[in-house]
Structure 1
């Protein structure tokens, strides 16, 4: 392989620049899974892959037999002899009638890719099964020269590779950076100034580990993890289709928070969501967990075609199920066999059959004007007070009904009947305001057929029974039919999908704490995803997660305790040029905080954040008229007017068709589909949101009040107090100077425009301290607005 040394040739340099960076720093040989399979998948599998219906020339290149089974005279691959291999001949041909991929396919191989295939064939064309469909394998922990750097074996895998390339890991981040990084990563909130001081002063050898343990024990840890899980399962407060009406599901979100806080083993977490209703004597929380099966997009429009929407819901379920738990894109199999992976259309509908016992008719038989108070199957989640009230009302009703039977007086009976009617109204009123949530209740499974080309009008396809994808084996049962519980158990079983599920989740945990997965595509471990940059490390993490009995907190602690996690995120120009995506992992990552955390950070710094855990969704300030296009029925957004206004972003009402503008500006998904990795954009709209969203203006005002009351006597002291509160560090002299100039500039402006100052100090619901001078408060509010807009404040470092 080509290496970036002073001796590489021009061709070698061009090859390295053209290739994915992991190829450039591979050591001695071309890897089929890492280097060759992705090339074939991108360029060849569409016509010569798993999809038998559209396969050309009866040639299948995703299997070893397809590559090597022909005779020497017509060998697709002739190991050791590229010039006698048809594959190399066709991809390197200059003849437009012979070259592959054909010109009209829109695909072509780069010279560096052709060279790689040539090298692979010359080396004997070693083939291996796709890495994601092999069970994770244990490997020996690498030796390293620098024995003092590693904390655990994560570090040894990384350092070993770096040392082979004569590279060094980054220095450890300073303590302030570490506590901010850990606080955001594990709780989604910034550290308090007191917590920072305590950590910086703690010189004990286990100071860092104590911090990790404290943050993992925080109730806010569950909230932070829930943000990610709710993206995966496409949680929202509305149905998505047509009128996008509200549905009752917020208790499911609280179940997720509780599960992470209580460190529910991930296999049980999986089982309860997919099939909690099928467990023996399911608890209330296990019933609530089955809300997962009800959180898909649905329609409550009266004229929907039943069979069409049953097909739509089925496809939605399998897209999400396969994406969340398998890291697979099985939605591609709805109409034809997968073009890049070994999943078939039969596999798709066999998985649909597992979910055929869910009562979809509850989404289909009511129009928007006929939705009752409770949408079966739902349950009421009464508070203790409501339970007491119900008990009293029902006892009173029973007494009144008995009295009606015995009294003979058209006046006493009339009074009793009026009383009974009132009691019924009181009882109904409790149900109207009580918290409800959708759950899953198993019914007789409906018949599932393969839909040819996904056509819901075509009923000629064969009937299928519940089954796992055929290439992954078979799942047997002593019962008449496999159930969702069987599927959930298979997902976590060692002789089932368990170790591969562990790899999917280990990769996602890594993403949360390094900004990228070890395998770069978090929801596609198949042919169109990317191979892991440290495959042995990923497998070892998966095995640890499984052997630790699916202990999420223990796995996360192991990752964040590593020296690799603690590295500085500062990068040299050379690192940025040679490894822009940090695939070598010789530094940490810097990236903008998720949308919810940006909101939570501002509310925390201002002192406004309400830290209550759980409860119904909340409605913060939102632009007037934003819902004007919502119909069936028309709706007007009414923002909360109490302390719900300052709840965490996790609890913001999630309207799929009209996601809150602040969340949308910072790339939160609408949650129509599984989102395993949010995009990170940098737009003027985001900057304008930070400056002008009423939540951020109000937070800046309260932040400024705190600075004026508690920041010290001089302007410089107040600047230092405000800066430290936002960034956890003291400002540099230049920063203080800039902020003082901003302060004095705004003082002059508001002295000349006192009405504007008064208007600014009225922003939001939070009461203004009337003892403060409005012009001075307004000037300081502009300073704190600037602080909340700093890149350092909205970036996880």
Structure 2
């Protein structure tokens, strides 16, 4: 009878319902009714206005009142007529008898609606429950747990053994096992447990917990779960899955946890660190959270399509990681269950929509923009020195300009009649005989290009050069033939070789005679100067956009670039001599555009440039006219006469080129073209600029958030399509979801900074609840809300609602202090319970929803690998830095899974043995020995890993080189212990955190004897076995004994007692 009562009480307390419904029991809408309606009705009668059948909405009182008061709701759900029954039979959904009884009783009690529990404000104060035995409670949170399981008829478990608690807490706080020395210290401290007072014992536990919290390993362990949610990886994903350099963000997360950065600041820095007043390096770096998503570089990828994909990823990640909501479906339609319409989704996306990015990346090693440089201390010193030298060179150049005025007067009076324009690098004329000269410099951009794919040549008589030729011929009384020009089709162009690309430190001038015959609003490539044709998106280019000429110098467009555009379009279908000059200053004001020798007014497009603008690719030419790989060429355009000068030409020189007459010998012309001391000073200035760029080039770089120069308009995109029609009706403004019922802060800026203020407001109903729920799940087998990714209507109810609210309020009031939260948990009586379950507990509460016993579950993949390394003594505790490449099975899984992937290069030396946090994380090819233990690919935000138990896991522990080597090294380190039992006991202690009992010792001793007998007779097998891995066997070691004891260590490593936390 007692068991029956316990069973009844358990379901009432843990799940919030009874087997039947009586009028004595009050129906609670969120607990009893909403789950029924959400699961069975909302798909057709929920918040999605586009799919509401019969205009009926059951997620609100106003929408449902008519069918409730008329009795139609009950009539429909209880009908025997399949044409009347709801849900209809073809929906494959049905209500149980209990569901129907619950709905009927709810209506009888007045059919009260309530807002969803997680959208209600967190109470300012949560009443503490009365408990029967307050002495059991060590922390305030224990009162809620005790009250819950007591109400269900359970008693708390006994306290777990001190060493078991130590191991449990060590893994939960540091991800590592306690070392033998730590165990010895703790054992010694609690040796007098029987005579110590309760407060003395609490002090010992408190001190042990504090040591773990102060350990750098704390941040490394806590970072793992957050990096899952941040979808951090060391590669870009998708089909090519190239490696990236995003590891500084991972190191920042580790540092943030170790520094105990308050969680509200932790979120604020990641969401809007770049928008804070005078942001620090760390605050800007933290915004990489919104840039470490997957990136595509597929051939033919549409930039805007993938930019929209990036924005959507940020919204989904923000929704899941921070709000605990599923927003993905809102991209195409109103949420089927939660009160979040599609328009609200795009209003939220508008906060992430104005980033100065392109949407894709190319096949070079460039970092997608916007980005920041992360110099080391030595690199910072080098950069400072380069800046000092540059300042000196600029001063010397200006001084030489002043001195040259004296020389100019003398030169002007004695200068020759000829007007020279020196520093011509190339001159391409497309007149007859062009084929012969072209073959000396022409270079196909693809290996299969043939000469028949050359652009066509057409006769022209009205180009600037043609007119000059005819004028000169007429002056001499001679006849002349029409010149020829390139007729471009947008696909084929002229690609040259042997012309060293110009970088951002070198002044230059490009002069092109051109004629636009087809005006296009799309950017059309006239010419570009780079190291190859893969996108050509580094170096310099000259483009046309709706008649406006653009001159740009960049490493990555748009965020790492300088560029200008003419204010007015040039006339179409008219020949123009266009000249683009650059002064080598790395500033947008150094770019100028002339037409016919006259300077045109321009606007600045971008004005920030870092590192070199010439990143080499493996194919293509350096100077290209009329076409670019994966870009739009100058379709229909005509090109005649192209010249490149390695100097910023002066206005007189440009006018001379345009008119064919001798230019005015101005002082500016003299400085630039003639005066050797001034030109030498300019050369020195150019060298100093190059030195500065080379100092930047060595620095690590990471993508971060930075707003565009002008906010980008955001629209509701029908079905989530990037190219959906956009108009005033689809336009949305930045705002937060109205269904959460928490308004945007008054006076807050409508940007990501304001969004961060909104989400970290102490009154926000979701943020703190979601955070403490996830943190709680790190310590116990499951969080209080067992759907941590979904606090919406389809998510589970919290097992302990009052406890969740108290934890959230205490978290906020305690300063969003993560370490304080963790310490309170590990010191609580709830956590310190033994995890052993009675038969009755397993029957009534198999998943420990009531927390009437301690946590027990398999360790995570990182913890298992790090445990093996730590116990063996191999673990390299170095913190931070680039990812390392540990052992990988097979020849090269990266190449086998992706032919575009770089080869896998295994690390050497102690780098092989770093913590798993630092192992390279390739999205399309994660490390197999980690995947076997349920790591994620981190392609998308993941806040809850699976926890499986498969034979493959045992095979990994027995055969993977990392674990075989760890077992052998541990065995080798223990060979100095002569006593077999002592050696076995020490191995057992290192791996399980406790000493083995008599039976376990007997079994392992027998195993060792059997294995020793075998390997003594099979020395070659022993030799092969102990040479697994890179760590060498100590000379003179008895390989038979070593192999036998390695097997013992492998066996212990495979035990449930080792790979489970209990």
One fold, TM greater than 0.5? yes
Are the equivalent residues in 1 in contact too, given 2:372–2:701 (CA < 8 A)? yes
Please name the residue that 1:81 is paired with: none
Following TM superposition, by how much is the alpha carbon of 1:391 offset from its aligned partner in structure 2, in angstroms? 5.2
Please name the residue that 2:472 is paired with: none
Following TM superposition, by how much is the alpha carbon of 1:510 offset from its aligned partner in structure 2, in angstroms? 1.1
Task: Give, in whole Å, the separation in 2 of the partners of 1:593 and 1:426.
Answer: 51
Task: Give, in whole Å, the separation in 1 of the partners of 2:756 and 2:389.
Answer: 46
Following TM superposition, by how much is the alpha carbon of 1:90 offset from its aligned partner in structure 2, in angstroms? 2.2
Are the equivalent residues in 2 in contact too, given 1:564–1:586 (CA < 8 A)? yes
Please name the residue that 2:184 is paired with: 197
* Residue 738 to residue 423, structure 1, CA distance change in 2 (3 Å): farther
1:206-245 CA-to-partner distances (Å, cap 9, x unmatched) read 1111111111111111111100110111111111122111
Are the equivalent residues in 2 in contact too, given 1:620–1:639 (CA < 8 A)? yes
Following TM superposition, by how much is the alpha carbon of 1:157 offset from its aligned partner in structure 2, in angstroms? 1.3
Are the equivalent residues in 2 in contact too, given 1:255–1:289 (CA < 8 A)? yes
* Residue 7 to residue 254, structure 1, CA distance change in 2 (3 Å): closer
Please name the residue that 1:181 is paired with: 168
Please name the residue that 2:572 is paired with: none
* Residue 778 to residue 390, structure 1, CA distance change in 2 (3 Å): farther
Task: Give, in whole Å, the separation in 2 of the partners of 1:140 and 1:600.
Answer: 42
- The secondary structure found in structure 1 opposite 2:1056 is coil
Following TM superposition, by how much is the alpha carbon of 1:684 offset from its aligned partner in structure 2, in angstroms? 1.8
Task: Give, in whole Å, the separation in 2 of the partners of 1:540 and 1:743.
Answer: 53
Task: Give, in whole Å, the separation in 2 of the partners of 1:390 and 1:630.
Answer: 41
Please name the residue that 2:100 is paired with: 114
Are the equivalent residues in 2 in contact too, given 1:467–1:474 (CA < 8 A)? no
Q: Which moved more, 1:255-264 or 1:724-733?
A: 724-733
Following TM superposition, by how much is the alpha carbon of 1:734 offset from its aligned partner in structure 2, in angstroms? 1.6
Q: Which moved more, 1:163-172 or 1:200-209?
A: 200-209
Task: Give, in whole Å, the separation in 2 of the partners of 1:7 and 1:538.
Answer: 27
Please name the residue that 2:1055 is paired with: 790
* Residue 307 to residue 394, structure 1, CA distance change in 2 (3 Å): closer
1:58-80 CA-to-partner distances (Å, cap 9, x unmatched) read 1111112233x22xxxxx335xx
Please name the residue that 2:343 is paired with: 346
Please name the residue that 2:700 is paired with: 435
* Paired residues for 1:12-161 under 5 Å: 21-24=15-18, 28-67=25-64, 69-70=65-66, 76-78=67-69, 85-137=71-123, 138-161=125-148
1:8-48 CA-to-partner distances (Å, cap 9, x unmatched) read 9xxx98x9989984435999443221122111111110011
Gaps of 5+ in 2: 191-199, 404-679
- The secondary structure found in structure 1 opposite 2:1058 is coil
Please name the residue that 1:485 is paired with: 753
Following TM superposition, by how much is the alpha carbon of 1:527 offset from its aligned partner in structure 2, in angstroms? 1.0
Q: Which moved more, 1:394-403 or 1:507-516?
A: 394-403
Please name the residue that 1:666 is paired with: 933
- The secondary structure found in structure 2 opposite 1:436 is strand
Task: Give, in whole Å, the separation in 2 of the partners of 1:796 and 1:34.
Answer: 32
The answer to whether 1:651 aligns with 2:651 is no
The answer to whether 1:462 aligns with 2:716 is no
Are the equivalent residues in 1 in contact too, given 2:14–2:799 (CA < 8 A)? no
Are the equivalent residues in 2 in contact too, given 1:48–1:61 (CA < 8 A)? yes
The answer to whether 1:766 aligns with 2:752 is no
Please name the residue that 1:367 is paired with: 362
Are the equivalent residues in 2 in contact too, given 1:182–1:212 (CA < 8 A)? yes
The answer to whether 1:697 aligns with 2:692 is no
The answer to whether 1:728 aligns with 2:993 is yes
1:604-627 CA-to-partner distances (Å, cap 9, x unmatched) read 000000111111111101122311
Are the equivalent residues in 1 in contact too, given 2:356–2:369 (CA < 8 A)? no
* Paired residues for 1:558-577 under 5 Å: 558-577=824-843
**Which of 200, 213, 216 matches 1:219?**
216
Are the equivalent residues in 1 in contact too, given 2:785–2:798 (CA < 8 A)? yes
* Residue 149 to residue 685, structure 1, CA distance change in 2 (3 Å): same
Task: Give, in whole Å, the separation in 2 of the partners of 1:90 and 1:766.
Answer: 72
- The secondary structure found in structure 1 opposite 2:58 is coil
1:425-457 CA-to-partner distances (Å, cap 9, x unmatched) read 998776565433222222122221101122222
Task: Give, in whole Å, the separation in 2 of the partners of 1:445 and 1:484.
Answer: 12
The answer to whether 1:533 aligns with 2:790 is no
Provide TM-score, normalisation by structure 2: 0.68
- The secondary structure found in structure 2 opposite 1:569 is coil
Are the equivalent residues in 1 in contact too, given 2:11–2:17 (CA < 8 A)? no
Are the equivalent residues in 2 in contact too, given 1:243–1:630 (CA < 8 A)? no
Following TM superposition, by how much is the alpha carbon of 1:663 offset from its aligned partner in structure 2, in angstroms? 1.4
* Residue 122 to residue 782, structure 1, CA distance change in 2 (3 Å): same
Q: Which moved more, 1:690-699 or 1:156-165?
A: 156-165
1:681-724 CA-to-partner distances (Å, cap 9, x unmatched) read 11122211111111111111110111102xx3221221111111
Following TM superposition, by how much is the alpha carbon of 1:173 offset from its aligned partner in structure 2, in angstroms? 0.7
Task: Give, in whole Å, the separation in 1 of the partners of 2:930 and 2:340.
Answer: 35
The answer to whether 1:586 aligns with 2:855 is no
Please name the residue that 1:280 is paired with: 277
Are the equivalent residues in 2 in contact too, given 1:302–1:367 (CA < 8 A)? no
Please name the residue that 2:483 is paired with: none
Task: Give, in whole Å, the separation in 2 of the partners of 1:77 and 1:4.
Answer: 40
Please name the residue that 2:513 is paired with: none
Following TM superposition, by how much is the alpha carbon of 1:400 offset from its aligned partner in structure 2, in angstroms? 9.7
Task: Give, in whole Å, the separation in 2 of the partners of 1:423 and 1:743.
Answer: 69
Task: Give, in whole Å, the separation in 1 of the partners of 2:1052 and 2:685.
Answer: 61
Q: Which moved more, 1:207-216 or 1:28-37?
A: 28-37
Are the equivalent residues in 2 in contact too, given 1:238–1:654 (CA < 8 A)? yes
Query: CA-atom RMSD, angstroms?
Result: 3.1
1:521-580 CA-to-partner distances (Å, cap 9, x unmatched) read 101101110111111111111111111121111122222222111111111122112112
1:766-790 CA-to-partner distances (Å, cap 9, x unmatched) read 2321131122111111111111111
Task: Give, in whole Å, the separation in 1 of the partners of 2:18 and 2:997.
Answer: 41
Please name the residue that 1:446 is paired with: 712
Task: Give, in whole Å, the separation in 2 of the partners of 1:720 and 1:17.
Answer: 44
The answer to whether 1:168 aligns with 2:155 is yes
Task: Give, in whole Å, the separation in 1 of the partners of 2:683 and 2:1012.
Answer: 67
* Residue 210 to residue 763, structure 1, CA distance change in 2 (3 Å): same
Task: Give, in whole Å, the separation in 2 of the partners of 1:19 and 1:49.
Answer: 29
* Residue 742 to residue 129, structure 1, CA distance change in 2 (3 Å): same
